[in-house]
Amino acid sequence: MLRVLMVVLAILWASSAPAQQAKPRPDGRADVVLRVDGLACPFCAYGLDQKLEGFQGIERVEVDLRGGRVLVELKPGATVGDEVFRKVIRESGFALRGIERPRRPAGERG
């Protein structure tokens, strides 16, 4: 029982941290901010977090329950298409309102 309580508290703590704004990183990583409707509890956030982190190319996922945002940090050089995010969000029972990607540094092609 104590173990379950500790897990729940850890999830609550982790999900309460606000997602960062999408911005280019000097090391070449890209952040993707997903605007998601229906994120109501830490268990929802945890489930979505686990599904997204299971995809190749995704380094880290951070969920902002209050803001309805999911910050996705990609591995260096990785790309994940919008269709992947749409599918995972839909299959998880949430509604995707939007996908924000950072601006690329001047002169960078993509």
> What pLDDT digit, counting tens, does each position of 36-71 carry?
999 888 888 888 999 999 888 999 999 988 899 999
- Domain membership flag for residue 106: no
Q: Give the closest residue to 27 by CA, choosing from 74, 70, 71.
A: 74
Whether residue 48 lies inside any domain: the answer is yes
- Assess contact for 41 and 96: CB atoms under 8 A: no
The total number of structural domains that make up the chain: 1
The predicted structure's pLDDT at residue 54 = 87
Within-domain flag for 25: yes
The whole-number pLDDT of residue 99 equals: 96
The residue among 77, 78, 99 whose CA lies nearest residue 90 is 99
Does some domain include residue 73? Answer: yes
Please give the share of the chain, as a percent, with pLDDT higher than 90: 39
Residue 87 lies in a domain: yes
State what percent of residues in the chain have pLDDT above 70: 67
Which residue range forms the structural domain that includes residue 28? Answer: 2-100
> Does 110 map to a domain?
no
